[in-house]
Structures are given as structure tokens and as C-alpha cells.
Structure 1
Amino acid sequence: MSARSPQPATALIAEDEAPQRRALHEQLLQAWPGLEIVAVCEDGVSALEAATTHRPTVAFLDIRMPGVSGLDVARAVVEQGGLVVFTTAYDDYAVRAFDAGAVDYLLKPVQPARLEQAVARLRERLQERRAGADGPDLHALIDGLESRLRPQGERLIRWISASAGDSVRMFGIDEVLFFQAQEKYVRVVAGSGEGVIRTPLKDLLAGLDPDAFWQVHRGTVVRVQAIDRVSKNELGRHSLSLKGHAERLPVSGAFLHRFRGM
């Protein structure tokens, strides 16, 4: 019997700028004719959901996207055995991504010749995997990259000034249990009370320590130390409970990888 031919490679594209997204899509179709593009996403949350649903062979991810960073999406892709190429408009980010061991990086606007080079490297890596060769530990490499790019010092949020009825309450960031998007506002819940702010959730995430706060749903960011447990109901939906707080928070399937081994 003849050996079965390998399954065709599949790809996810995540880019928040429409012209860049369209250009990368078109260039990929030319550079890799046999590639099946299973999802083209305009933000990090939809990219994370697509990565979980489609389990792509490779993902082309902008490092900085609204909602969820390309690094978070990369973790989900790598968790499922995929490879990652980062795209960025910033030279320093590109070099750091490459140094951190990502398969490759593309500087925007993407040049066709550079994309062809990245595709050749990807295909070589895929052949090595089929032959049983071990690759680098991409989990550790992505963690290392995040530690170099995370907010530092004065860029981290220390205090939250939130409206509470007719007054303004000040919450130290260490008091906050979770943030929850609600229409035009974001709800800030602490052990001592709550309030609302107008800062979008995606902007808040840029100033939060990713080791201290996790996004667990499109509209929810929670303090890791406040999480008690994650459970699944009879409909297969997940939610988490907090220590010393009665409210339960939904957990999207796209973020369940955060709780492996918890």
C-alpha cells in the first residue's frame, strides 16, 4: 500500500488593519498555493476563538491587536501543535519576536519576497516535524517574549478612579477582583465595592500585569489570585468562581487553555 499523503496545511491570519489584512491574505495565496486559509480575523478575541475552533497548522499573527494580543493567540496555536509567524510594524518588536524563537517574523507592510522566505522556512519546519525531529520549546519562547514586551514601571496601572453613584472611588490595582465590560462602561469590582469607568477593556489590558490579570472572556478580565475554581455546567459552558465573592463569571472556550493543570 502506498503511504498516505500529508493533510494540506491550514492557516489563520490575524491583523487589525484591513488593508494589511487583505494584502497578507492575497500574498499568501500566491506564495503558498496549497495552503488552506481557514480564518481571517480583525482582532485578538476572534483570532483566539478561530484558533481553538480550526486548530490551524500555522498562524500569521500581529503582535499587537485589540482585545487579545498576538502572544495570547500564539499560545493557543502552539498548544494545539501549530507554528507561528508574527507580523509587526515595529522593527524592535520584529527582532525580539525572531530572537525569542518564533518561526519567523514579517515587518509590515509585508514584502512578497520576504513572505516567500517565511513560507519556505515554515514548510521546512513542517517537513522536519513529519520526520519526527524535535523543535524548540515554543511555549517557553513565547513566555520569554511576553516578559520582554510587557508593561514595566510607570506603564503599569496602579490606581483605578471609578464612578460609584454620585461619588468617585479610588481602588488600588491590588484590590481589584475583576473588570467586566458593560455597554459603554467597564465595571470594576473589588472586595470593598465596585464602580464603573469609561476606559475600554482593551486599553486597560495594555496597562495590566499579564501575570496578575487574565482575560477569560471577550468582556471579562480577572485577577488570577482571586480565582477559586472553574467548572462546567450540563450545557458544556464554563464559568469560574472567586474566593470570597459570590458572583460567577463566564469563561469562553477560547480561553480555557489558561486553566490547563490549574
Structure 2
Amino acid sequence: MPEVRVAIVEDEPPARAKLRRLLEAHPGWEIAGEAEDVAGGIALLRGHAPDLLFLDIQLGAENGFDVLARTAPPHPLVVFTTAYHEHALRAFDVAALDYLLKPFDRERFAQCLERVEARLAERRGADGGADDEERLRRVGDFGRAGRLARLVVHERGRARIVPIDDVLRLSAAGNYVEVHTRERTHLVRATLSRLAQRLDPAQFLRVHRSHLVRADFIDAIAPRAHGDLALTLRDGTELLLSRRYRALLPGGWRGD
């Protein structure tokens, strides 16, 4: 693979030094420049055109997202580095390739570089050049305005990507949402209402104030008292479809 030009935008000198040390263990990765604030990050992108940007989210009193918002696409591949998992959904909204939750180790960093190498190989492949850059720019634009394609969950200090296609149902759990897949249940710090706004309402049905269910995961529907319905899911879980949310469903689901 050709040499990869890397930019680092991070306001803490020890964090910049750590990224330098980790990169030194991987030949072929050249640091094109470093910055400690938004203005410096903007200058880096405009002046050096890096292939990869390690971008901290909290840059003093400023926000790392502004580096991308105030520069014109095509942007480099972006890996966010932060101690705050609350920004993960927004990070992937702007088409970030990865999200390193501090403190990360050498193994997690190496996994990140492997992901970068794979994406760069795609960009330099058969669809390379300006056409590929334009395609990536459109993907980023869709991510800002379109439906969620993935969720970011955190387990033992690591960020993990869960494709929406793997999600069977979501349940409110205080300040978190339980994300149920066939293999396990994850937690994401968000509200069910916020996630509902970003999911396809034809794919995920709001059946209760605390539950969103994938439509094709519903196995049976039975009437209950007072206009409610009982839903049986394909894994045997039973949920109540309250009258309030029944009225918001398409006619075929209401039993009209």
C-alpha cells in the first residue's frame, strides 16, 4: 500500500505523543502535521491534504466537528479519538470510519489501522479518482440527513458497531436504550425517541412508549382488552401494543 499521510488534531500533548508512538510501530504511515485546535486543524486539511485524520472531539472550548464543517469535501478518512462516548452517533453521522474511545491500547489501534487500510484500498481501486471521492462525499451527506445505518455501543471500554439490519428490537432503559440482536443485548446512551426519529418507521414500529420492534420480527398479534394488542415476537418475547400506538400504525397492522 502507498504511504499514508496522517494528520493529528488533538489538544493534549500526551495524547498526540501517544498517537505518534503507536504510528511509529507501523511502517508506511507518515505524519503530515499536527494541530491542537480547530483553526490549526482547518489549516492542516487545507494545506496538507492528508489521507487520514485523527480528530479529538473536545478541543478546549471548541468542537472537533467544526474542523469538518468548516472545510470543503472531499475530506480525509476520519477517526475520532475521545474520552466521551456520548458523541459516537454524531461521529458516524459525519461518515467517520472509526471511533477510538480513550484510553485505547495497541491492539485496538492496530485494528483501526487495518480498517483504514481496507478503506483506502477501496478508494484507490477500480472506482478510484475523482469519481470515488464524489461517491464518498455523497455518502457523508446522506449520513447527515438520512436514516441510521448503524449504532455504536460500548463494551469494556471499546466502541462496537452494530448494523441496523442486525437489530431486532429496542427498549428504553433509563438514560440508555437496550439494543437487542440475535446474539446479545447491548446498551447505547440515547433516548428511544431520538433513535425512533432516525429509523425507518416502516421497518421499526413504535408499539409502546418503551419499545420499538422490527416489523418482520413480529410472529403473532392477538387482541386484548380496551383496544390493546398482544404481540408475540419470533424469539417468544411478548409485548403489549398499547391503544395509543396502535392508532399510529398503518391500517394493516391495526387490524382495521
Query: Could you state the TM-score of these two structures normalised by the residue count of structure 1?
Result: 0.47
Choose between structure 1 and 2 for higher RCO, CA contacts under 8 A separated by at least 6 residues: 1
Of structures 1 and 2, the larger Rg is shown by 2
Query: Could you state the TM-score of these two structures normalised by the residue count of structure 2?
Result: 0.48
